Every structure is written in C-alpha cells, then in structure tokens.
Structure 1
C-alpha cells in the first residue's frame, strides 16, 4: 500500500493577506503531511510583489513551519534546482493577483508541470483568489479588467472555480451566467472567509472563519439556468485546535 496520500488541494477565501486571526492559515498547516511542514509561497500572480512576500514571511515565520518563497521574476535556480525545490515542499501556497499572467509565467518556466508532479507525490497545493483559480480547468476572473470567464487552468481540480463569491460586486451573477451558458464548466464558488480542502476532486473539509460564509457547487440546471448547492461548513474558532494531519 502506498504511503502517498490522495492528491489534495485547498481553496482559500482568506489567510494572512486579508485576515488578522490566522485561522485559515493554521487550518491549512494542520492538513500538511508532517508536523513541521515546508511551506513555499508563490507570489507570481502579483508580480512577486515585495510587500506581499514580506507579509507571508512575517505570518509564517512565527508558525511551526519552514517558510520559503519562489521568485520567478528574478529567478536564480536552473531547471533541475527548481524542480527539486518545489518537490521538496509539503505545502505550496499561491497568492492572489492576475490569474492569466500567473498561468503564462508558470508555463514559461515549467512550474505547471512540476506542481502537477508535486501534487501526485503528496504536496498540498493551495491558494487564494488567483491562487485558487489556477488549479481548476477554468475560472472566473478580473485578469482582463471586467469580470469574465477564463476557460484555462492547470486542470488539477475538475471543473471551474469562482473566488470572492460574496466579496466583490458582480461575482455571483457573472459566474452563474458563465456556468449556465457553458462558458465555464460546473464548479465551486468560494466565499471570503472559507477554506475548502479537496481530495480526489471532492470537498472533504470545508471551514469558515466567519458566520454565514460558505462553499457552493454551481451546475447547469438543464433549462438555461443554474442550480446552486451549499456544501456543509464547520465554523473555525480561535480556541479550536488544528485538524489531524494527513498520513
């Protein structure tokens, strides 16, 4: 029997870049495969913004993990070193920004292929906003200015993803229209404050740091509209311990 866990992805509607309580970051680390995980932040979607990197390091240096950052806009590692570095991570945490630009840069550097390999080896892939969009077959994005559909992604999570489902005006009706019209496949709408862990393409642990926030399955209804189904969510609280780690 293999010791490698089922491939897992986590979609985040918050974390160190938006929240002060650290609940979603602690929840994410609790799902790592080891007690003190190696966590790599990938800020490609923001153009490796220095302030974003510093916020990550400030948040994760005080946690029980070994944080690092993958810079691609001033890359130093050769192909072999880059692959070895990413495959050595227990958690990859992708930041927000421009989804289309992220995908283009990753493909230019071969990061897309390496992350697919890392997923199969047991690395937990995760991210917020563009860092959630990138794992799916398609996503709902403002990469081109106005909200629109992007029928492009790594395809590591079947279907599509919409972040900020309740946090930005127009997200919900625009995503529903894209799914209803076939511009995007059925998928997952993530509200701000939510963390959703997927294993084998299915949500296996969905949490929220605020009352009322949720994860929704959005599918065509066969009549030109969509059906929207809420996934059961458990509320995170400051005093709660982290979930049991994957083995």
Structure 2
C-alpha cells in the first residue's frame, strides 16, 4: 500500500546502538515506515548502500535490525553488479527505500552510470517513501555540503533534484557544516537550503516541507535563505517522535 502522495523523509539519523545486535532502527526509520501507511503485513524496506560501497557485513547488520523491528528488509546492491534483474520494478514493490550514508559524490556517480535517477523518481511518484541519512538525505535535493572529496567540505550540486532545495546534514555535530551552508547560499551556489541536526528528519509531501521530526531531545532543523548577498537562518522546532 503506497503512501497517498509522493513522500520523502530526509534525515541525519535513523540508527542507534543495540545490546544484542550491532544496531537497531531508531524512530526516524520507523517514521518512514509509518509515512508509507502499510498495515496488515511486514513493511517492505529496501536499503541502498551505494555511498559506502555496498558493504556486505553492514547489510547483515541491517537484516538483523529488520528482524528486531519486524520489517521485511532487502538491499539494492550495485557492486559488483546490480543484485536484481529488474531494479525499477523492485523499487516499485517497496514501501520504503532507505539510502545509507557515505560518499554522496560517489553515490550520485554510480547512480548515474546505472540510470537510477528515473526509477527513483518513478517510485517516489508512485508513493514509495524515499528516505535516508546523510548522503542518503542530500541525494534527493539539488545538492549540499560533503566530505566526499576530502577533509575540507565542498559543495555537491548534482543531486537528483526531486526536492528543489539544498540540504545540510550533521548541522550541529560537524563545525564546518553550518558556515559552509551559509557561504554557499549567500553566493547562490545552493538555493534555499534545509538543514538537520543529528537525529532530525524533514518530511516532504511532493516538494513541500510539511514537518520536522526528531528522535533526540533538544535538536533542531533550519531553513537558510538568501537575502541580498547574505544568508539568513530560521530554526524549526521538530516534533519529538516516540522512540521504539
């Protein structure tokens, strides 16, 4: 059962340490499933690990987390070749597509080679909830700030542009993120940019930002706009999610 409209949840969170398994899905991943509206069966969630090279050991951690959460987890691997015969069809069968973090520049390059942009858009338009963390957040936007090229953060501007904004992730935990977002917006390199502290997600219906949500206390979301030659920041207070 797809969401009743195109939906994206772009985050700087979603996982937490676990006692028996390596990790568990935190409230943001659970919220992505809630947004899909699925009932009466295990939610179908495919995780895309392109940004970190489709690490098989991490895929195992995700399957274990899915078992704990009651999700039907699959992975879309592109290394060394796609692990599905019909990638567009597989995406359309999901309730949620969750994209992991890593190198957003490499993710976008590999997705371009495999012509994944159009299938992702088709899934979004069909009501599959698109979501993810860090690189898996930036990819849905025009672009954002990234350490894909080295320790010094740089701009990336070739995102899928399903959302016509820039995106700033890890806004409170990496000191260079906020000032660089301001510089890029002031210069016009990025359009109006939506940013998240760690543990925060932004919910979009179509291209409209409808809500900020958080799995941690005291965190914020932000909108950075250009006024003249300067950047102006507005803080949004997220709705606190109930941790599973």
Q: TM-score, normalised by structure 2?
A: 0.89
Answer whether contact 1:179 1:186 (CA < 8 A) is retained.
Answer: yes
CA 1:6 to 1:105, structure 2 compared with 1: closer, same or farther past 3 Å?
same
2:57, 2:212 → 1: CA distance?
29
2:212, 2:167 → 1: CA distance?
15
Other-structure match for 1:84: 89
Runs of 4+ in 1 over 4 A off after TM superposition: 17-21, 76-79
Other-structure match for 1:196: 202
Q: CA deviation at 1:220?
A: 0.6
Answering whether residue 191 of structure 2 is matched by residue 181 of structure 1, we say no
Pairing partner for 2:43 from 14, 37, 45: 37
Other-structure match for 1:8: 7
Q: CA deviation at 1:139?
A: 1.3
Q: How big is the alpha-carbon RMSD for the aligned residues of Structure 1 and Structure 2?
A: 1.9
Answering whether residue 114 of structure 2 is matched by residue 109 of structure 1, we say yes
Pairing partner for 1:171 from 164, 173, 177: 177
SS at match of 2:132: strand
2:78, 2:158 → 1: CA distance?
21
129-138 vs 21-30, greater mean Cα deviation: 21-30
36-45 vs 13-22, greater mean Cα deviation: 13-22
CA 1:152 to 1:17, structure 2 compared with 1: closer, same or farther past 3 Å?
farther
Q: CA deviation at 1:93?
A: 0.2
Answer whether contact 1:176 1:226 (CA < 8 A) is retained.
Answer: yes
Pairing partner for 1:26 from 30, 34, 40: 30
Answer whether contact 1:207 1:233 (CA < 8 A) is retained.
Answer: yes
Answer whether contact 1:17 1:52 (CA < 8 A) is retained.
Answer: no
Other-structure match for 1:123: 128
Q: CA deviation at 1:187?
A: 1.4
1:25, 1:4 → 2: CA distance?
15
Q: CA deviation at 1:77?
A: 4.9
Identify unmatched segments of 5+ residues in structure 1: 240-247
Identify unmatched segments of 5+ residues in structure 2: 18-22
Pairing partner for 1:50 from 48, 56, 64: 56
Pairing partner for 2:243 from 225, 238, 241: 238
Answer whether contact 1:16 1:55 (CA < 8 A) is retained.
Answer: no
Answer whether contact 1:94 1:128 (CA < 8 A) is retained.
Answer: yes
2:3, 2:13 → 1: CA distance?
28
- What is the CA deviation profile of residues 61-96 of structure 1, one whole-angstrom value per residue up to 9, with x for unaligned ones? 2223211001100325566x1221111111000000
Q: CA deviation at 1:20?
A: 5.5
Q: TM-score, normalised by structure 1?
A: 0.88
Q: CA deviation at 1:131?
A: 0.3
Answer whether contact 1:16 1:59 (CA < 8 A) is retained.
Answer: no
Q: CA deviation at 1:17?
A: 6.0
12-21 vs 183-192, greater mean Cα deviation: 12-21
